[in-house]
Amino acid sequence: MDNLGDCEIDDWIFLIKWSIKQTPGLRSKNRQNNENYEALKKTLSQFIPLIRLVEISPTDSYDKVGLYKGIILNHIYEEIEEFYFKGTL
């Protein structure tokens, strides 16, 4: 049986890849800029709350979610950090 966190990180990675393909100008990592990043944030904003980010291991969260901290709503990211640092939500 898969660990729930494994499913969530897979969902996160899929969502990021899908969103990049949906966001004009982001298909190439070399073309990322603030305007494109804001467009990516807009594309992802409705889906991020559906991913149970606290179910992702701290290592995967740091390596794969933290890269996109700027597109996650502040209160959601703060909840993630609080969960990992204090063990509470």
Q: Which helix (H) or strand (E) holds 13?
A: helix 4-22
Q: Tell me if the pTM is above 0.85.
A: no
At 87, is the secondary structure helix, strand, or coil? coil
For 3, residues 6+ apart whose C-beta sits below 8 A from its C-beta are none
- Distances in Å between the alpha carbon of 76 and those of 12, 26, 28, 31, 42? 14, 24, 27, 27, 15
49-82 confidence digits (pLDDT tens): 899 998 999 899 999 999 898 889 888 889 888 8
